[in-house]
A and B are shown apart, each in its own frame.
Chain A
Amino acid sequence: MSLRGESPHFSLPGGASLLSATGRQVIAFFSYFGETTRLQLDILVGLVKGRLEYKTTIAEMAFVGVASLPVVAVTMIFSGMVIGYHMAIVTGQLGVSNYAGRVVAETMCRELGPVLVSIVVAARVGSAMAAELGTMKVTEQIDALRAMATSPVDYLALPRWVACGLMVPTLTFVGDIIGVTGGYLMAVLMPELNAGAYWTHIPGTFEAYTLVAGIGKSAVFGIIIAIVGCHQGLTCKMASEEVGRATTRSVVYCIMLIYGANLFLTALIFRG
């Protein structure tokens, strides 16, 4: 059996060879990377040149920040309680239960706060951005903007970028506090923990740098959410089912990029 063309083992459905399919994926990856980088640069140019529409930005900040607060609060209080529960057992076994509060605070501020809040915002806001902008694209509203000499990047993407860049860190800060408080609630409920000692080591040995670094990470995650959500919406194909696909892709890409960026930033920010 010849390997040239006839072998089904080296072909994908539709006749595409494995090599060409891989090649298309590689090209698609670099194309996506290039397009999102270009979008990021265009947004920065718009920001520097003062093209930010404040009214739209404030509305977006309310949508990203205020409207996300309930789901962030629920996520973080339960996460804090679960971590508090585990820490009660582990620190109790090690005989350092007085440090449970410190461990919960470190866990929250370093990792869980930034990552969980960003995932929640990606699911709620990133998907909404892709759906809204995608619908605008399909119904020619993006073209109408351009026809009226208005840049869709300046008018639609820039306010969302600023809103995510400011409100995701703010939500993370609030989420950290709620999470640590959730841990304290467990300390009150569980006999293994000394509720009175829960806060003892948090202001003492917990460094402000940890809190600020975690919030800094979340600012990057917020920007990732805005870029991915806006890019998916603005490049949506002209069919209504494509809006659904763009929305799904936005959430999946956001989550993957947040995890990847978190690893990179953690290694960069927290050394020793």
Chain B
Amino acid sequence: MGQQREPVVQVRDLTYSIGGRPILDRVSLETHRGEVFGVMGMSGSGKSTLLRNIMGLVRPDSGDIRIEGQSIIGLNERELNRVRVKMGMCFQYSALFDSMTVRENVLFGLRERRDISPSELERKCAEHLEIVGLAGTEDQMPAELSGGMRKRVGIARALITQPSIMLYDEPSAGLDPVMAAVIDRLILRLSADFGTTAIVVTHEVDELFGLADRVMMLYEGRAIVCDTPEALRTSDNQVVRQFVEGAAEGPIEV
């Protein structure tokens, strides 16, 4: 239980703006070892930007972000890279390297590992493609894959370095319900078996409630609530209620 409560990602009063327009406004969160932490919100509410801040891809205006206790604020790119090796990120639009084959994409994170033999690399690649249901696609180019297949290759690529923290940006967008369920089960298995901490960003409420231990809702750049899925389902907050129920009428301004 002590290990379960170990903070892994801590965000304190994170504020981020683009061109003077606030995207995130004093957002705070804390995730623990092995936890699946969900972030939901309308499109443009700052969910993806929150992940990009946590990965250190953008620099916040103010606030603090700690990864396994180490603050990433003020680190240069090379220092950030030493923190990033603990994390994997599944991008919303896959972000596969389109000049490389599926094999080269999946093995990219291991390309400098001289201690792994080519046959072992091949085995790892096949194993991770199998996990995401894409066995035998090693020699295909990303352009030959569907959007859902590209998404799954992106997940395999992120998982191959066995990061202790996984950031998923809309992991099931573009996937059919069966494959979305497979990916959700994979996220849960990684957390249960390997203690991987997952932060899952999505606007798919049902998926997130079936997946996450806790869910935070972002609205207009602010974290308006953070609680268990059960508590959010019965929340008195009108914004949360409208979002969870998917109602057209309510306080959310469209």
Task: Choose, from B22-30, B92-100, B192-200, the stretch at the interface.
Answer: B92-100
Contacts of B99 in A (CB 8 A): 132
Indicate whether A144 sits within 8 Å of B84 (C-beta atoms), given known contacts A139-B98, A151-B77.
no
In the bound complex, CA of A141 to CA of B88 (Å): 14
| CB closest chain-A residue, reference B92 | A140
In the bound complex, CA of A143 to CA of B154 (Å): 13
In the bound complex, CA of A112 to CA of B128 (Å): 54
Contact of A139 among B56, B82, B93, B161 (CB under 8 A): B93
- Please classify how large the interface on chain A is, using the bins under 10, 10 to 19, 20 to 34, 35 or more: 10 to 19
In the bound complex, CA of A146 to CA of B52 (Å): 11
B82, B88, B89 — most chain A CB neighbours (10 Å): B89
| CB closest chain-A residue, reference B85 | A149
CB of A268 closer than 8 Å to a CB of B:
no
B97, A141: Cβ atoms closer than 8 Å: yes
B87, A147: Cβ atoms closer than 8 Å: yes
In the bound complex, CA of A144 to CA of B109 (Å): 11
Contacts of A136 in B (CB 8 A): 97
In the bound complex, CA of A149 to CA of B82 (Å): 7
In the bound complex, CA of A136 to CA of B109 (Å): 17
Min CB gap A233→B, angstroms: 14
A149, B81: Cβ atoms closer than 8 Å: yes
A143, B84: Cβ atoms closer than 8 Å: no
B98, A147: Cβ atoms closer than 8 Å: no
Contact of A143 among B77, B82, B85, B95 (CB under 8 A): B95
CB of A208 closer than 8 Å to a CB of B:
no
In the bound complex, CA of A150 to CA of B95 (Å): 14
Indicate whether A146 sits within 8 Å of B98 (C-beta atoms), given known contacts A140-B91, A140-B93, A151-B77.
no
A148, B77: Cβ atoms closer than 8 Å: no
Indicate whether A144 sits within 8 Å of B95 (C-beta atoms), given known contacts A151-B77, A151-B78.
yes
Contacts of B93 in A (CB 8 A): 139-140
Contacts of B243 in A (CB 8 A): none
Contacts of B87 in A (CB 8 A): 147
In the bound complex, CA of A132 to CA of B82 (Å): 27
CB of B50 closer than 8 Å to a CB of A:
no
Min CB gap A67→B, angstroms: 15
In the bound complex, CA of A26 to CA of B87 (Å): 41
Contact of B84 among A140, A141, A148 (CB under 8 A): A148
Residues of B within 8 A of A (CB): 52, 55-57, 77-78, 81-82, 84-85, 87-89, 91-93, 95-99, 108-109, 157, 161
Residues of A within 8 A of B (CB): 132, 136, 139-141, 143-144, 146-151
Q: List 12 A-B contacts (CB under 8 A).
A: A132-B99, A136-B97, A139-B95, A140-B92, A140-B95, A144-B97, A146-B56, A148-B108, A149-B81, A149-B85, A150-B108, A151-B81
